[in-house]
Structures are given as C-alpha cells and as structure tokens.
Amino acid sequence: MIDVKEEEKVSSSGIFDQLDLMEHEQLVFCNDKATGLKAIIGIHCTVLGPALGGTRMWNYASEQEAITDVLRLSRGMTFKAAISGLNLGGGKAVIIGDSKKLKSEAFLRRFGKFIESLNGKYITAEDVNMSPDDMEYIAMETRHVTGLSENIGGGGDPSPVTAFGVYMGMKAAAKKAFGSDDLSGKSVAVQGAGQVGMHLIDYLAKENAKLYVSDFDQKRALKAAADHNAIAVGLDEIYDVDMDIYAPCALGATINDNTIDRLKCNVVAGAANNQLADEEKHGNQLMQKGIVYAPDFLINAGGLINVGIDYLGGWSKDRVYKKTEKIFQTTLDILNLSEKEGIHSQKAAIKLATKRIHELGKIKTVR
C-alpha cells in the first residue's frame, strides 16, 4: 500500500531503514547453493496472528527489486487480513529466478524446510509462478502452507472466491455511486479475462451488465466476447470506452498519470493489487473527480479468506463465501467513512484495518 515515491525512498536506503520505514518485523534471507534457491521472506506484522501470504517467483532484475517487492507485498497482506476480519498477520515470500528453469522437487522442499524453521510465524500459499502442485512439495517439509488442491483436502483454487468478493465490492460501490446495487444495464469494462476476470464476467453477464473486455491474450478477450455477448476492445482502448464501471483485473498501477483523465466511469472496482500508481495522489484525484473507488486490497480479499480459513481450520465452501459476502457491507462502511472524513477510500480502508490491529493488539487475546 506504499506509494511509488515511498518505494523510491525505500530502495535507496539501508535494509534496516527500509524495515523501519515499512514497519516490518522481520526479513528472512534463504540461500541454498545446491539447488540454486534464493528466497526472501517478509514478515510485516504478526499482531493479529501468523503472517500469511503467497510466494511469488520472479526473475527480478536485482536483489533490491526483490526486497522492495517483498516488503511492499507483505505490508499489503497485513491490511488485507485485518480488514477481512481474519486472525492473520501479513507476510509474503519472493523467490529470485526463472521458475521454468529452477523449480524442482529438491528446490521446493528446501524452501519448505526454510518455512518450517520459522515455526509457523510465516505461512505460505501460491502466487505468481507458483502452483498448487508446488505447494504439495513444500507441504512435504512443513505444515505451514495452504492453498492445496481440493482433491488432497485443501481449499482449492482461490480465484472464483476472489471474483465473488470483487463482485460484492463492485455492487457496494455501485450502490454508493448510483443509489442501487443493481448492475443490469450498467456498462462494465473488465481489463484482463484471466482466472479472476472470467469468473467476474460470469457474475456480471448473469446480471445483464453490458460488458467490454480487453486481454493481452486476444483469444481470451474473444472468448469472453463470444460466451457473454461482451465487446472485445484493445489494450489501450479500454481506458476510453463509455463505461459506468472500470474493473482492472490484470495488472497493478493502471490508474496513473496517463490514464486517470481518460476514465469516464463513476466506479472503479477490480481484482488487481495496487491499482493506484501513486496511492495518495491518484486516490485523491479519483475522489475529486467523483469516481467511487472500491479499495483493491479489500475487495480482492476472497482468495485470502479462502486460504486463511483453510489454514486456521473449519474450512467449508459455505463459510468462505459467507465471509466473502461481507465485503459488500465493509465496502459501503469504508465509502461512507471516506465521505464523512473527506479522505480517499483507500486511506479510509487502511484506517479501519489499522484500527482493528491496534485494538486487538492491546487486548492480546488474538492468536
């Protein structure tokens, strides 16, 4: 949730300064020469519970880039868990390298051993370039892993739950913007018809929304168009379409200096993480333009709710969807707080998340 300027400040200072600035508890470097494993685990906050967040494998251009990424992502997980009412803290891991070349059973199990050495302070799951099958190898070395396939007793693919939460958040934002959460006849531009985007498109099509879709992979956009009577648009064209709602479901930072004045919508609600390139600047600009922004880390929390309940115990599909449905009311509460206090909605969401951490941190009964 840290903005671009803060990130620049982070990457130009020493490691302990970076931890101070982002308020991290711990950064763990894992190195195994034999398998080529180079991983960094970021533990941001464990006040509410163990730090849960997926592992991302990426061919980072530098070690600093990997550190910046893990600090930013793990901090975001703290807010996401807190706002979702989970007794979990925020963490994330990154593995440096080419996932197609480096991953092997030994490599993944070695990583599992490192996670085990933290005794449950950090719990992993899948993220970019890590699959449920990879989690199975990690699980051979540690219990502190979630996101396993349903056929081996895990909570399965989190994407459908994430899409449901985004749909709930979008409906709440529509209620605030249009006075009704009914999306029929509303034009929605979905950027990215991937795992989450496709499920979101299903919900929106069932409600008779008018759909525009873009995807880097043209075949996906055309499939969505054919299956759901959507209109496929170009990668750049999507910012200019005549839309009521913009749903970024591909990349982060798509609300930036180049796009913000092109958006003619009343609502922004999508699955992507870190949608605002500069949180403070673009959050304020959206507010000034009268665009209702559904905070990304709140409305895309369905996947975390799924893996979080799976880890904490008592997982059932019904329970997960009921908890995810609450995103509707939480979004409304945050949008009302934003209006009342004259602060942008992302800031209001962080304020509520931080309040929960501070209140529960004081009574110290959370696990």
Is 291 among the residues that bind ligand NAD (CB under 6 A)? Answer: no
Residue 22 or 304 with smaller CB distance to ligand NAD: 304
Is 74 among the residues that bind ligand NAD (CB under 6 A)? Answer: no
Q: What's the residue count for the chain?
A: 367
Is 276 among the residues that bind ligand NAD (CB under 6 A)? Answer: no
CB 311 within 8 A of CB 139: no
DSSP state of 236: T
Residue whose tokens read 């163990």: 50
- To ligand NAD, the closest distance from the beta carbon of 16 in angstroms equals 29
Is 193 among the residues that bind ligand NAD (CB under 6 A)? Answer: yes
Instruction: Give every strand in the sheet of 210-214, ordered side by side.
Output: 231-232, 210-214, 187-191, 245-248, 267-268, 292-293
Q: Which amino acid is at 11?
A: S
Q: Give the residue at shortest CB distance from ligand NAD.
A: 194
- To ligand NAD, the closest distance from the beta carbon of 13 in angstroms equals 27
Judged by CB under 6 A, the chain residues 143 through 162 that form the site for ligand NAD are 158-159, 162
- To ligand NAD, the closest distance from the beta carbon of 36 in angstroms equals 25
Residue whose tokens read 């994430």: 162
Rounded to whole angstroms, how far apart are CA atoms 143 and 112? Answer: 9
| Options 68, 78, 142, 300; binder of ligand NAD; rule CB under 6 A | 300
Phi, psi values for residue 31, rounded to 5°: -130, 130
Known catalytic membership, residue 92: yes
Rounded to whole angstroms, how far apart are CA atoms 229 and 149? Answer: 32
Q: Is 51 left (phi over 0), alpha (psi -120 to 50) or beta?
A: beta
Is 249 among the residues that bind ligand NAD (CB under 6 A)? Answer: yes
- Pair type for strands 26-32 and 37-45: antiparallel
Is 52 among the residues that bind ligand NAD (CB under 6 A)? Answer: no
Catalytic pick among 92, 103, 186, 223: 92
- To ligand NAD, the closest distance from the beta carbon of 197 in angstroms equals 5
- Pair type for strands 292-293 and 267-268: parallel
| Options 195, 256, 284, 354; binder of ligand NAD; rule CB under 6 A | 195
Is 236 among the residues that bind ligand NAD (CB under 6 A)? Answer: no
- Among the residue ranges 44-52, 66-74, 173-181, 190-198, the one whose residues contact ligand NAD (CB under 6 A): 190-198
Residue 138 or 247 with smaller CB distance to ligand NAD: 247
Three-state secondary structure call for residue 17: helix
Residue 196 or 286 with smaller CB distance to ligand NAD: 196
Interhelix angle 345-363/327-341, rounded to 10 degrees, is: 110
Q: Which amino acid is at 99?
A: S
- To ligand NAD, the closest distance from the beta carbon of 157 in angstroms equals 8
Residue 177 or 247 with smaller CB distance to ligand NAD: 247
Q: What is the size of the binding site for ligand NAD (CB under 6 A)?
A: 24
Phi, psi values for residue 149, rounded to 5°: -65, 155
Residue 145 or 272 with smaller CB distance to ligand NAD: 272
Rounded to whole angstroms, how far apart are CA atoms 72 and 85? Answer: 21
Is 215 among the residues that bind ligand NAD (CB under 6 A)? Answer: yes
Q: Catalytic amino acids?
A: 92
Sites of contact with ligand NAD (CB under 6 A): 158-159, 162, 191-197, 214-217, 220, 235, 249-251, 271-273, 300, 303
